Amino acid sequence: MKPTDELKKEHRAIEIMLTILTEVARRLEAGRGADLKDLNDILEFLKVFADRCHHAKEEEVLFPAMDKAGLPREQGPIAVMLAEHQAGRELIKEMNESLEGIARGEDRAGLNFAGQARAYAELLRLHIDKEHGILYPMADGRLSRKTQENLKEGFELIELEVVGPGRHQEFHRLLDRLEERYLVHAESG
């Protein structure tokens, strides 16, 4: 398995969470309220699984290797990817603030969360498309087999240090639970 295959697998998990997030936004917009624990869990997944783990694998391992192979971080596709990761972080921060507002019972907080959630889902979906279509094929083509092996080791280290043993599975169980609740057995309305 190529290192980019591992990243693509993570993209699939992130995309499921984006679909759940969009459904949560739709319910908030319809005035149906939200389960605070679920919102918290979703943000925790986005913070840890998507940002601190997946984006870190790209920023700390993949992009530096591509930089060494002649694709500079300061410009072109990598610079765009970095800017989008940053924009995602800002939106996560905003969703966090809205979540605190929802917990305090503030009027507009639910709608604010929904707007930020939709913006985040849109940003990340396009971002993932660009990585699949442009960036990962570049990495597959440009990086030597040896470098690609080293990338996998670097990914493993991040996985251990940031996510910790067993936590990855916990995130997948969370995804299954939320998928069941919001996508499979979602009531209409």
User: How many positions of this chain bind Fe ion (CB under 5 A)?
Assistant: 3
Q: CB of 118 within 8 A of CB of 25?
A: yes
What is the per-residue binding string for Fe ion in 15-54, x denoting contact by CB under 5 A? ----------------------------------------
- Given the complex with Fe ion, which of 41 and 131 has the nearer CB atom? 131
Largest Cα separation within the chain, whole Å, is 55
Q: How many CB atoms lie within 10 A of CB 162?
A: 17
Residue 65 Cα to chain centre, angstroms: 21
Q: Which of residues 96-135 bind Fe ion (CB under 5 A)?
A: 131
Q: Which of residues 56-85 bind Fe ion (CB under 5 A)?
A: 58, 81
**DSSP character at residue 108:** T
Q: CB of 79 within 8 A of CB of 73?
A: yes
- Given the complex with Fe ion, which of 41 and 58 has the nearer CB atom? 58
Q: Report in angstroms how near the CB of residue 84 gets to Fe ion at its nearest.
A: 7
Residues that bind Fe ion (CB under 5 A): 58, 81, 131
